[in-house]
Structure 1
Amino acid sequence: MSGLIIFLNGTSSSGKSSIARELLSVLDETCFHLAVDQFHAMRSKRELADEAELRAVMLRTWSGFHRAVAGMAAAGNNVVVDHLFSERWRLDECLELFPAADVVLVGVRCPLPELERREAERGDRPVGLAARQFVQVHAHGVYDIEVDTSTATPLECALQIKEFLPRRPSPTAFERLAAAGSSAVPAAR
């Protein structure tokens, strides 16, 4: 039996990690929070030769992260995923790896001016990162549920998601995206 994958998709600084932490405290069943940032933090700190080597390491990290999520769910674990579809290939790979009927795709929205304010306040992200991701992250356009972190706290967003889970749609957003295929948006890798 496959576990449920609650996939939080939003730009950097949109509030995905904060919502994920709240979900773990409000959901009735045991869940694991898997964040792509956690995987990047596990990497050794050695200097990389150049941008090409950095890009290759990043691609392998993201791809390995997708497989780790799929593996946890395949073992029957419920997983809250903190990631983003800032490049189309990420969505395509997740569509290939995850059981589409068991994915709840959550759009984590926040207006760009608020994202930029949060980004500047955090100081741990490159300036303009959220702006660069803003259009592509939600380009696929299909969600099971969306939350807005500019109007709701992380706990309120988590509760909205929890209340939604018993009435998940069929087909799910992931099933609809899989059925549409990847021809709608060109893949980039």
Structure 2
Amino acid sequence: MTSPAPEFEGSPNPPESQQAAGGLIIFLNGTSSSGKSSIAKELVGVLDEPWFHMPVDAFHAMRSGPELPPDQLRVVLRRTWMGFHRAVAGMAAAGNHIVVDHILSEPWRLHDCLALFSPQNVVLVGVHCPVRELERREQARGDRPAGLAARQFDRVHAHGIYDIECDTGSASPLECAQQIKTFLHRRPTPTAFERMRPEGHGHPED
């Protein structure tokens, strides 16, 4: 049973010294079945401070309603992704640390995140896995269309820039989580998001 949120007396606004400066976002990007969620679950267990795991699948699971024709479904899916990005940005802006698992298989998703997130506070992690292993995992899961990960394989990593990369074909989720934790103590600048964010950080539609 989940414990109720604690209640605090006094002013709802903490003193200036306690106000949030912006939380860190660990952004896991990889194909379906690449192991992002497994890494995220390990990360929130090994990291020292409170972290929130915000998977995009949880936002898709919130959606109710009838089946939609493909053109309407595309619109609804895009709105869902955009809402997810803004929820992550809002949580981070309030000072929360977030672990995100994502699939950057369409360029506009990356552009949207580049425009919304504080680039210096994003750790972009490339989650890789060999195609044959992805196919084996898809078949074992049985809840993903056959060949989905293979179709996403080239598009997901097309931007080509990461802060750190890991391979779940050769390392366990816990090993990947430990690699990321170690990296957090020596994060270089500029970050991958800083290098990719265009001057003026406009908001491209495609």
Aligned equivalent of 1:28 = 48
Aligned to 2:74: 55
Contact kept, 8 Å, 1:88 with 1:188, in 2: the verdict is no
Structure with greater proportional helix content = 1
The equivalent residue for 1:46 is 66
Residue of structure 2 in register with 1:92 after alignment: 111
Contact 1:142 1:173 in 2 (8 A): yes
Distance in 1 (CA, whole Å) between partners of 2:67 and 2:110 is 29
Any residues of structure 2 matched to 1:156-167 within 5 Å, and which?
Answer: 156-167=175-186
Partner of 2:133: 114
1:175 maps to which residue?
194
Gaps of 5+ in 1: none
Equivalent-residue separation in structure 2 for 1:20 and 1:180 (angstroms): 31
C-alpha deviation, 1:153, in angstroms: 0.5
By how many angstroms is 1:181 displaced? 9.0
| 2:103 paired with 1:76 | no
- For 1:64, the equivalent position in structure 2 comes to 83
Say if 1:188 and 1:127 are closer, same or farther in 2 by CA, change over 3 A.
farther
C-alpha separation between the residues in 2 aligned to 1:53 and 1:135?
26
CA pair 53-179 structure 1, distance change in 2 beyond 3 A? closer
Residue 108 of structure 1 and its aligned partner are, at CA, apart by 0.2
Identity %: 69
Q: Which runs of 4+ in 1 moved over 3 A?
A: 179-182
Alignment deviations for residues 113-139 of structure 1 (CA, whole Å, 9 cap, x no partner): 111111111100011110111001000
Partner of 2:147: 128
| Equivalent pair of 1:87/1:188 in contact (CA under 8 Å) | no
Shift of 1:13: 0.2
Are the counterparts in 2 of residues 5 and 78 from structure 1 also a CA contact under 8 Å? Answer: yes
Q: Secondary structure at the match of 1:108?
A: strand
Does 2:168 match 1:149? yes
Aligned amino acid, residue 121 of structure 2: D
TM-score of the two chains, using structure 1 as the length reference: 0.94
Report the secondary structure of 2:197's partner residue: helix
Aligned to 1:4: 24
* Aligned-residue offset at 1:36: 0.6
1-structure distance, mates of 2:198, 2:164:
19
CA distance in 2, matches of 1:46, 1:173: 39
Number of residue-to-residue matches in the alignment: 184
Shift of 1:45: 3.9
Letter in 2 for 1:73: A
CA offset digits 1:120-161 (Å, max 9, x no partner): 111000111101110010000000000100011000000000
